[in-house]
């Protein structure tokens, strides 16, 4: 997940490709951060406090003749100020509702596809006519799902045991005819946003610190009293007692430093009351008061859709939750929002405030359903599952409108599984889909998917008016005219479509969830302009329904686009604002006249004449070749009706006489007339840009209905020409001097990058101002089947100065350089900023874009050439990651429940669960890599993917979807489960053996710096090393990249694994000075990989071992028979009475046959320990003691001690074999003593007194001393092994506990846990909790119990 960017206290969410855009969790951070490389999805908004200034605004202004917030020299009063916080005037919504108060959204149902809507938020409870505002609240992602398939029954006292292990009291008034209670549990922080979690952690840490300080004070007091009482400590026991008191103090202080709150666990209970499924939560662990939050006190909830009721977890969090029950009570969905974004969006659309109507949303009468698509597990990122389920819900609820303020850059426009489903929803079910265009501006072709790239979706850009600037943004001086925000994404799409359909107000002070502890918050972004437009459309639909006018997405879109007010004064401004600022009142007038016209959309497919592919939706002449000649294009126009249209009544009669107009006379030529029927028509367009000047030019061919010219354009064919200037100078240098900037101004320069250029070095010099200035600098190039190649920077100049940048480019392609001064930067100073921009092109051309070293000793030849100017050739290459391939060990295909996963078409969604296993011998930083599926969500024909990595204890370490993230794993064994969804079983069948890679990051010591040579034999001979040289333009130079030396390969890397890294070739003049160690820091680097070959055969293996044997054949045969009998004994399963009887019979027989054979006796002891279905515990532990004694007695301890005390000669014949035997015997002895000690302790615990040997008891009868078997056994064990090690330390801990030295016991146990590594052993933590309970540290008991749910969850989470 990418990090947010804070600009003047306003946050913009970014990716590696953008500064401020769609999709991320809204977190305030204290400083400007560099965008991360992790993900490209962002929440499409920025967030700031009421008094803060957003810094990403500006382009061209709307003319001020329209009274839509574009007012000159105005002053705010209270009402205009409040109105500016929730802008409606800009789209004429206020005028419309004033004229038609009953058309305020009533009768319209809007689906909000977002991060979730809080039904308790201010303004979102009822509509303007008193109806419930929110009709349903759904978590479409599954992030709040709880497995409640475990069924229990209450005991006589009305108690049940939850899956957390807690005892829960059921409210006796709850009806449950079956008596069956479904139980599950959830870590509550998994349901909360990170902002809320951070707040709770601070509150809880404060309370915990208070309790811990009390415990420390008491421990210090006890230690102080001991020291005062015992001034001289000579006695061993006294020393141990003091060490115990000191350990308590040390432990408490250490825990204060290592405190890590993973949050409490809440128990969930689901039951059927005879009519509906109901659920309740036990939230005691969240409450301050012990009597609050109990299960019995929770007001039971059913699915929100049925009763529209919600709850909160506790007063501390103030977080609203909704409960929905699925799959016959086996799944409970706890619905919370994953950020304030969704509630804010919903508030803009339709909030209703009876006491302050100026703060109403655009359509206060509209009703909503909340479809949460932002997955809480991913910090609010959308998932394919969430998107598809949201569409299912919207159709199921018969919604009229969808608003979605999410998106990301895409590889292919108007393509993908989600796009296919959206088309079905719009064309068949007549939903109107509105979405944000993105926040990746100001460069062209930055619109995101799905809003800016999908034909069936109305993409909305973000507009700011002077009133908004003065009021909502609290500027001391507002701009004279309205304008598009600078960060609002621009068209065209890469296939030439306009990208932005319309614009609306892009900022608002709107409701936010109750957990934020405030009613409303200011945010701006296309996330805000989309619901503003959606609210405006809800007003139109309200009127259309009331007046019984037919509703169609096609006619509504036509009305919106043909009644907009243009933003800006030039044709090119359409690429920023679409058709302009939507106007509700004018669109209403238009629709009233349009109702008799058939509802038709016009599908445009364009190809270059003579070619059948690729097809596009517009004409986009971007590269120099197309701008230097005339081209002809074939346009196919097909009228498309809704799926339920009648063939005879609508399709056959359809016929339109169309007059075609071109806005580029002489440059863009098209036929004058066209007779269009249902089957469509083709016509040609000729575009001749040869006479155009360098720069951006925009034209349209639009169609008017000859019979109804008042309708305006029926369809438009956008034609965008970005004619680049050529770089003819040598060295290749382009300078733009004296560019003048005022707040909000954008300069676009288009340059044909010289062939051979691979990077540029840019210097930006500013002058002519006295207060700080902030600029966006964007560079964009477009290549086939790639996301737009974008580089960006935010540059702040506190005073006139210069800054330098370097970034990669692709030679031979047009580069747009967009330079924009923030609209708020320099407002009020009235200085004009002068900017000089110098671009110097550099390049080293190579013959291999990707280098693959095949695992052999042969190097790879690289040819390098500088085509532009002298360049320093200084190659650097590093292999710093290893990708290990895995195939699934298991695959399961299942049909999902129709309740949530049946598509609108009626098809059932299927799920494929793939299971992979892997192991790390030491801790590692890893990331799953799935080449087929990664990095695409919208432009992907697969519906959804989700993975989960867990250890053998079922603890989840990582979750992710199409954008995997790095996770740190301790050493141990892991399972990765990959969950794929689709309705096509054949697709999923093909994925059953899907290969994935686990990409492990190598640390600095393991990373391999590769060497270079001038000769192919260099890697073997060791001479002819290549370091650097100077490339002369036109002259090629070659060198060899050597494979890594075999002894440099990371340990444990198996054959078939792939080492990957980067290689760079050139040096820039500034900014990179890492001595070639990290090529990735170079502006231009390429991929390099090495396939790990099979490991060398160890020819020495087996040498020196003696094949001779001193035993006779008969002796060998007897040993083989004996060992075979022992193997049979070990393989007998004791899970049944019959198995236990067989095992006992055979064990007695073998003991009589081999009475002193230690391995047999050790196996019998091992089998006894593993038994868990015994009734008499004391008898069982006494059997273990007896079996352990038999092992001990079978060993000649004197001989063993003698051997271990003498250092043997490893060179002596048979020494290694003898050592191995003696080590094994020592381990068997130690294990027997250890297990005996544990069993004695258990017997002691069960009997309540120390265990005494009967013979010893007789010997000391009448004396005061009683032999202590445990202590004697402990001392014997102490002779052979270290009793504080993780293997045997439990016995030491038990001993210290017996003596009341809990502090020492805890210290040793903590050391054992640290030493033991991963995965952790539950028995250690159970023992730790019992010690903490005995010592009386309740706050630590609670803390450790919460961690138990993290380390040892009862089951894996649901997908």
Q: What is the largest CA-CA distance in the chain?
A: 125
**End-to-end Cα distance, the chain:** 19
User: What are 146's two structure tokens?
Assistant: 């709880």
Place of tokens 């946003």: 193
Q: Considering the candidates 94, 104, 114, 136, report the single residue annotated as catalytic.
A: 114
User: What are 674's two structure tokens?
Assistant: 């066209």
Nearest Cα neighbor of 591 from 717, 710, 429 is 710
Tell me the β-bridge partners of 916.
976
Within 8 A by CB and 6+ apart from 722, the residues are 444, 621, 622, 627, 695, 696, 697, 750, 814, 816
Q: Classify burial at 1053, counting beta carbons within 10 Å of its beta carbon; exposed 0-12, middle 13-18, buried 19 or more.
A: middle
Within 8 A by CB and 6+ apart from 529, the residues are 436, 460, 461, 462, 463, 488, 503, 504, 505, 506
Q: Considering the candidates 182, 272, 341, 344, report the single residue annotated as catalytic.
A: 341
The CA-atom distances, in angstroms, between 334 and each of 86, 90, 195, 512, 1358 are: 31, 38, 19, 19, 13
Tell me if residue 87 falls in helix, strand or coil.
Answer: coil
SS (H, E, C) 235-273: CHHHHHHHHHHHHHHHHHHHHHHHCCCCCCEEEEEEEEC
Q: Considering the candidates 370, 527, 845, 950, report the single residue annotated as catalytic.
A: 527
Nearest Cα neighbor of 515 from 321, 379, 367 is 321
Alpha helices in 65-193 (DSSP H): 78-85, 93-99
Q: Distance from CA of residue 141 to its chain's centroid?
A: 12
DSSP symbol at 903: -
Within 8 A by CB and 6+ apart from 282, the residues are 162, 166, 168, 266, 267, 268, 269, 293, 294, 295, 298
Q: Are 722 and 698 in contact (CB under 8 A)?
A: no
| Sign of the CA dihedral with 1103 first, then 1104, 1105, and 1110 last | positive
ω into 803 cis (within 30 of 0): no
Within 8 A by CB and 6+ apart from 1330, the residues are none
- Phi first, then psi: give them for residue 344, nearest 5 degrees: -60, -45
| H/E segment holding residue 508 | strand 507-511
Alpha helices in 700-787 (DSSP H): none
User: What are 1348's two structure tokens?
Assistant: 């138990």
| H/E segment holding residue 1091 | strand 1086-1091
Tell me if residue 527 falls in helix, strand or coil.
Answer: helix
Within 8 A by CB and 6+ apart from 997, the residues are 883, 884, 885, 886, 928, 929, 930, 931, 1058
Say how far apart CA 807 and CA 500 lie, in whole Å: 28
Tell me the β-bridge partners of 521.
510
Tell me the β-bridge partners of 806.
761
Q: Are 539 and 551 in contact (CB under 8 A)?
A: no
According to DSSP, the β-strands at 432-436 and 401-404 are parallel
User: What are 1293's two structure tokens?
Assistant: 């801990």
Say how far apart CA 526 and CA 528 lie, in whole Å: 5
| Sign of the CA dihedral with 1330 first, then 1336, 1338, and 1340 last | negative
Nearest Cα neighbor of 576 from 498, 497, 524 is 498
Q: Is 473 a catalytic residue?
A: no
- Half-sphere exposure (CA, 13 Å, Cβ side) for 559? 28
Nearest Cα neighbor of 435 from 500, 490, 373 is 500
The residues that are catalytic are 114, 341, 527
């Amino acid at each position: 997940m990418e990090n947010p960017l804070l600009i003047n206290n306003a946050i913009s969410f970014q990716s590696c490709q953008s500064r401020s855009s769609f999709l991320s969790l809204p977190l305030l951070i204290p400083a400007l951060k560099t965008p991360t490389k992790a993900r490209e999805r962002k929440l499409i908004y920025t967030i700031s406090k009421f008094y803060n200034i957003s810094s990403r605004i500006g382009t061209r202004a709307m003319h001020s003749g329209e009274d839509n917030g574009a007012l000159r020299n105005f002053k705010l009063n209270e009402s205009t100020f409040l109105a500016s916080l929730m802008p409606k005037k800009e789209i004429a919504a206020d005028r419309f509702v004033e004229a038609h108060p009953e058309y305020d959204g009533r009768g319209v149902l809007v689906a909000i596809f977002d991060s979730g809507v809080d039904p308790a938020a201010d303004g979102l409870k009822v509509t303007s006519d008193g109806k419930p505002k929110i009709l349903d609240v759904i978590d479409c992602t599954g992030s709040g799902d709880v497995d409640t398939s475990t069924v229990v029954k209450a005991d006589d006292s009305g108690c049940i045991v939850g899956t957390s292990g807690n005892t829960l009291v059921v409210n006796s008034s709850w009806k449950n005819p079956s008596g069956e209670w479904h139980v599950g549990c959830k870590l509550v922080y998994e349901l909360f946003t990170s902002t809320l979690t951070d707040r709770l952690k601070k509150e809880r840490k404060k309370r915990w610190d208070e309790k811990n300080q009390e415990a420390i004070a008491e421990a210090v007091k006890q230690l102080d009293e001991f020291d005062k009482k015992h001034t001289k400590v000579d006695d061993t026991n006294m020393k141990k007692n003091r060490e115990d008191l000191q350990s308590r103090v040390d432990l408490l202080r250490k825990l204060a430093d290592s405190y890590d709150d993973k949050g409490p666990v809440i128990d969930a209970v689901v039951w059927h009351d005879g009519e509906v499924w109901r659920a309740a939560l036990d939230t005691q662990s969240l409450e301050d008061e012990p009597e609050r939050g109990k299960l019995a006190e929770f007001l039971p909830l059913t699915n929100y859709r049925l009763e529209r009721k919600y709850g909160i977890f506790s007063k501390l969090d103030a977080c609203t939750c909704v409960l929905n029950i699925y799959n016959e009570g086996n799944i409970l969905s706890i619905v919370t929002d994953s950020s304030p974004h969704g509630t804010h969006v919903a508030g803009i659309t339709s909030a209703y405030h009876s006491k302050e109507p100026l703060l109403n949303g655009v359509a206060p009468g509209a009703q909503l359903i909340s479809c949460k698509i932002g997955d809480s597990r991913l910090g609010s990122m959308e998932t394919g599952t969430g998107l598809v389920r949201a569409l299912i819900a919207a159709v199921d609820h018969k919604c009229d409108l969808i608003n979605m303020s999410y998106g990301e850059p895409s590889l292919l426009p108007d393509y993908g599984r989600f796009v296919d489903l959206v088309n079905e929803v719009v064309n068949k079910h007549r939903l109107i889909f509105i979405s944000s265009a993105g926040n990746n501006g100001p460069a062209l072709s930055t619109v995101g998917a799905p809003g800016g790239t999908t034909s069936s979706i109305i993409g909305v850009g973000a507009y700011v008016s002077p009133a908004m600037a003065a009021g909502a943004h609290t500027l001391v001086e507002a701009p004279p005219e309205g304008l598009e925000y600078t960060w609002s994404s621009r068209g065209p799409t890469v296939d030439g479509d306009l990208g932005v359909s319309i614009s609306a107000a892009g900022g608002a002070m709107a409701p936010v969830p109750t957990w934020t502890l405030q009613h409303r918050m200011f945010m701006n972004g296309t996330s805000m302009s989309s619901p503003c437009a959606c609210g405006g459309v809800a007003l139109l639909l309200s009127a259309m329904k009331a007046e019984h006018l037919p509703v169609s997405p096609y006619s509504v879109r036509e009305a919106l686009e043909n009644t907009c007010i243009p933003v800006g004064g030039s044709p090119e401004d359409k690429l920023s604002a679409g058709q302009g600022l939507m106007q509700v009142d004018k669109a209403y007038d238009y629709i009233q006249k349009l109702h008799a016209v058939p509802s038709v959309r016009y599908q445009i497919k364009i190809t270059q004449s003579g070619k059948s592919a690729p097809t596009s939706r517009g004409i986009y002449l971007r590269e120099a070749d197309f701008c230097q000649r005339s081209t002809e294009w074939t346009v196919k126009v097909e009228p498309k009706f809704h799926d339920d249209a009648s063939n005879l009544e609508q399709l056959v009669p359809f016929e339109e006489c169309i007059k075609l107009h071109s806005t580029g006379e002489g440059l863009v030529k098209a036929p004058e007339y066209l007779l269009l029927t249902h089957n469509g028509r083709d016509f040609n367009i000729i575009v001749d840009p040869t006479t155009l000047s360098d720069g951006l030019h925009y034209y349209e061919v639009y169609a008017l209905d000859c019979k109804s010219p008042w309708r305006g354009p029926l369809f438009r064919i956008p034609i965008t020409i970005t004619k680049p200037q050529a770089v003819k100078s040598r060295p290749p240098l382009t300078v733009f001097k004296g560019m003048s900037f005022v707040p909000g101004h954008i300069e676009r320069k288009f340059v044909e990058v010289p062939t051979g250029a691979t990077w540029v070095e840019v210097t930006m010099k500013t002058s002519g101002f006295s207060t700080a200035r902030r600029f966006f600098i964007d560079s964009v190039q477009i290549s086939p089947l790639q996301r737009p190649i974008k580089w960006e920077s935010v540059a702040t100049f506190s005073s006139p100065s210069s800054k330098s940048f370097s970034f990669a480019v692709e030679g031979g392609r047009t580069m747009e350089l967009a330079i924009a001064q923030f609209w708020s930067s320099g407002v009020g100073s009235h200085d004009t900023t002068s900017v000089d921009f110098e671009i110097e092109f550099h390049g080293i051309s190579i013959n291999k874009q990707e280098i693959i070293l095949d695992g052999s000793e042969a190097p790879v030849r690289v040819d390098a050439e500088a085509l532009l100017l002298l360049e320093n050739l200084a190659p650097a290459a590093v292999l710093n990651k290893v990708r290990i391939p895995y195939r699934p060990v298991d695959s399961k295909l299942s049909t999902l429940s129709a309740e949530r996963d049946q598509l609108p078409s009626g098809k059932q969604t299927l799920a494929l669960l793939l299971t992979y296993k892997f192991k790390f011998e030491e801790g590692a930083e890893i990331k799953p890599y799935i080449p087929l599926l990664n990095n695409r969500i919208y432009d992907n024909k697969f519906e959804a993917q989700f993975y989960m990595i867990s250890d053998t204890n079922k603890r989840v370490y990582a979750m992710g979807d199409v954008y995997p993230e790095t996770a740190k794993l301790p050493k141990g064994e892991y399972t990765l489960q990959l969950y794929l969804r689709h309705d096509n079983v054949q697709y999923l069948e093909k994925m059953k053996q899907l290969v994935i890679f686990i990409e492990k990051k190598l640390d600095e010591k393991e990373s391999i710096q590769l060497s270079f040579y001038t000769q192919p034999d260099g890697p073997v001979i060791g001479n002819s090393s290549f370091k650097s040289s100077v490339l002369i333009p036109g002259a090629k130079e070659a060198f060899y990249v050597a494979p890594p030396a075999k002894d440099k390969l990371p340990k444990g890397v198996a054959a078939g694994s792939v080492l990957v890294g980067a290689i760079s070739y050139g040096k820039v003049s500034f900014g990179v000075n890492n001595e070639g160690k990290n090529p990735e820091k170079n502006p231009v680097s390429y991929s390099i990989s090495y396939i790990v070959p099979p490991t060398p055969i160890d020819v020495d293996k087996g040498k020196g071992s003696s094949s001779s044997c001193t035993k006779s054949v008969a002796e060998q045969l007897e040993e083989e028979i004996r060992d075979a009998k022992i193997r049979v004994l070990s393989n007998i399963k004791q899970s049944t009475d019959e198995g236990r009887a067989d095992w006992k019979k055979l064990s007695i027989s073998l003991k009589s046959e081999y009475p002193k054979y230690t391995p047999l006796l050790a196996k019998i002891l091992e089998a006894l320990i593993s038994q868990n279905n015994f009734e008499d515990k004391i008898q069982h532990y006494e059997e273990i003691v007896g079996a352990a004694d038999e092992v001990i007695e079978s060993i000649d301890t004197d001989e063993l001690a003698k051997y271990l005390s003498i250092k043997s000669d490893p060179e002596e014949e048979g020494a290694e074999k003898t050592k191995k035997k003696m080590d094994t015997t020592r381990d068997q002895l130690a294990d027997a003593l250890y297990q005996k000690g544990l069993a004695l302790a258990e017997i002691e615990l069960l009997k309540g007194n120390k265990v005494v040997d009967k013979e010893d008891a007789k010997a000391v009868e009448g004396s005061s001393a009683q032999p202590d078997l445990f202590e004697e056994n402990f001392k014997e064990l102490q002779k052979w092994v270290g009793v504080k090690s993780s293997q045997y330390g439990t016995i030491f801990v038990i001993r210290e506990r017996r003596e009341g030295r809990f502090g020492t016991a805890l210290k040793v146990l903590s050391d054992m846990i640290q030493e033991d590594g991963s995965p952790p052993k539950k028995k250690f933590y159970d023992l730790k909790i019992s010690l903490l309970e005995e010592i009386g540290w309740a706050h630590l008991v609670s803390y450790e119990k919460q961690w138990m749910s993290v380390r040892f969850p009862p089951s894996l989470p649901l997908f």
